[in-house]
Amino acid sequence: MSEQFTITLAQLNPTVGDVAGNAAKARAARAQARADGADLIAFPELFIAGYPPEDLVLKPAFQSACRAAIEELARETADGGPAMLIGSPWVEDGKLYNACALLDEGRIAALRFKANLPNYGVFDEKRLFARGPAAGPLTVRGLRVGVPICEDIWLEESEDYENVVECLAETGAEILVVPNGSPYARNKNDLRLSVAVARVTESGLPLIYLNQVGGQDELVFDGASFALNADLSVAAQLPAFGENITTLRWSRTGAGWRCNGPIAPVVTDDHADYTACVLGLRDYVEKNRFPGVLLGISGGIDSALCAAIAVDALGAERVRGVMLPFRFTAQVSLDDAAKLSKALGIRYAVLPIAPAVNGFEEILSPVFAGLPRDITEENLQARARGTLLMAISNKTGAMVVTTGNKSEMSVGYATLYGDMNGGFNPIKDIYKTEVFRLSSLRNSWKPDDALGPSGEVIPPDIIARPPTAELRENQTDQDSLPAYEVLDAILERLVEREEPLASIIAEGFDRDTVARIDRLLNIAEYKRRQAAPGVKVTEKNFGRDRRYPITNRFRDMGEVLPGPDEKLVSRAGQASAQAFDG
């Protein structure tokens, strides 16, 4: 019986649909694991397909390509190198599973299927996959390895939850290796650790939590993989937000298998949010093969932060800034936009839009004759800017980065044609108060892999200037916004927590203000449906998490919610209820 076991963790960045590319990454990582003398190399959830594959995974041609890649990798393990534990969609008996395959000695030595399928937030796996059984451990070079897949360790209080870890412990597993596709959200590391600690406590087994890294549409996966010894001490911690291949050497002790691996620092809070925005934009551009990006530089803080993120993600040579002034544009905005562009080192052009706006007004004059000027004419500025940015995008191939923050997009103050339409928005899930914090942070720090210059890149005047919210499409004077500290506090309770208005008012917020923000949030739903995708950094954003109907007559009136009257409900007996359910 061996007293040593060596596992390589491949915290890598797959691309959804790039089966050949993902297989090539796996092959290169295995070569490194072999050089390290590994017995086993493990990859994240559904690695060969990329995660999440969404409805792509339902295509028979895609399923076949994934299986062919797994079979080819299996044949290559006949070379005597390390076994591979790799995720892939798998069709068995006409059912599609989220699977993990053990490849060793030239064959597919074993398969394990995910038993617990998440169907909340960004996840939709119950519609895509069949549930697998709670199976026992795999045997790899004499070691019994339990392979619960992602949700299989997130215990859920429901009757249909399979306690996979309990099953593995009872059937002789010696160590747990958990492949994951766990998206980033602020402070999620603490939650993952608490879940892992609970499973180790219950099973008495060491646990390896292996997460993927990289951006996929609106999701960012932060990696930050880790391992726990059976006594709950940290056996290893991999870095966050970057690819990493680490080999861990485990030793058999009287208390089970134990490892003392590297412990990397993990970025948190605002530092993590900024890094996620950089990684999300970078991978969206790279994986969709855009040559670069362009954005409107207004001299305001939102576009300044987006420009800094873009340069950190792609390098200054791939970022173009365009100032599109009209007669209302202040000289200080022109000056600050120029300073920002110079500090970041990006290409920069000033294109006055008066001829375009005046041209629109002239074209519309027969229709508008006799009607008073109003917000309609103001919005022509945004439409002209959007048209010009898209024209530059069409001509150069560069993707338009949009710059609307979460606060203003929530209440409809981000214009469809200026702040919201385009290719991608790195601050879509960042409230305005955090925009200011991240801008100040970037002037004193940047991520380790950032490609932008160090030091002060966002002019302090931009950060210090008091924020103002212009009235936008379909807004009236009574819809003016409160201070952003108040606005963001109310929105966080409405959007993230789904709190009733009465609860928010009870916390001390002004009733009329809360009601007005709730109204604006509801009537802006149609705008958010048309917005560009953007990085997700909270548990609930306006991408796949919030699914409210555009046509919707319900309004919370802010009254104290009545309690249920249980006396009015007839309860069937348990036996008859079960008979009715079939």
Domain at 78, CATH number: 3.60.110.10
541 lies in some domain: no
Boundary of a domain, candidates 469, 491, 513: 469
User: Got the DSSP string for 330-382?
Assistant: -HHHHHHHHHHHHHHT-EEEE---HHHHHHHHHHHHHHHTTPPP-HHHHHHHH
* CB atoms inside a 10 Å sphere around CB 288: 12
Q: Are residues 354 and 444 in the same domain?
A: yes
564 lies in some domain: no
Q: Are residues 236 and 287 in the same domain?
A: no
pLDDT, residue 420, reads: 59
Please tell me the total count of domains within the chain.
2
Q: Are residues 69 and 115 in the same domain?
A: yes
561 lies in some domain: no
484 lies in some domain: no
List the end-to-end C-alpha distance of the chain, in Å, as a whole number: 51
Q: Are residues 138 and 39 in the same domain?
A: yes
Q: Are residues 74 and 194 in the same domain?
A: yes
pLDDT, residue 376, reads: 86
For residue range 256-301, what is the model confidence (pLDDT) as tens digits?
899 999 999 989 999 999 999 999 999 999 999 999 999 999 889 9
Q: Which residue range is the domain that position 80 belongs to?
A: 4-264
Residues in the chain predicted with pLDDT less than 70, given as ranges, are 1, 156-159, 415-421, 466-479, 540-547, 553, 572-582
Q: Are residues 280 and 387 in the same domain?
A: yes
Q: Find the CATH number of the domain harbouring 346.
A: 3.40.50.620
Q: Are residues 249 and 346 in the same domain?
A: no
User: Got the DSSP string for 474-518?
Assistant: T--GGG----HHHHHHHHIIIIIS---HHHHHHTT--HHHHHHHH
Beta bridge partners of 244: 11
- From 304, 528, 495, select the one nearest 414 (Cα to Cα): 528
Q: Are residues 94 and 140 in the same domain?
A: yes
474 lies in some domain: no
pLDDT, residue 418, reads: 54
CA distances (Å), 553 to each of 272, 517, 522, 525, in order?
39, 16, 10, 13
Q: Are residues 219 and 288 in the same domain?
A: no
Tokens of 206: 């060491």
- Helices and strands of the chain, counted as H and E runs: 18, 19
Contact (Cβ atoms closer than 8 angstroms) between residue 195 and residue 154: yes
Q: Are residues 23 and 59 in the same domain?
A: yes
Boundary of a domain, candidates 428, 448, 469: 469
* CB atoms inside a 10 Å sphere around CB 47: 28
Phi and psi, residue 301, nearest 5°:
-75, -30
Tokens of 166: 């309990």
Boundary of a domain, candidates 469, 497, 520: 469
Q: How many residues does the chain have?
A: 582
pLDDT, residue 472, reads: 41
Q: Are residues 232 and 276 in the same domain?
A: no
445 lies in some domain: yes
pLDDT, residue 209, reads: 97
Catalytic residue annotation: 45, 114, 150
pLDDT, residue 124, reads: 85
For residue range 194-229, what is the model confidence (pLDDT) as tens digits?
999 999 999 999 999 999 999 999 999 999 999 999
Q: Are residues 234 and 365 in the same domain?
A: no
pLDDT, residue 582, reads: 44
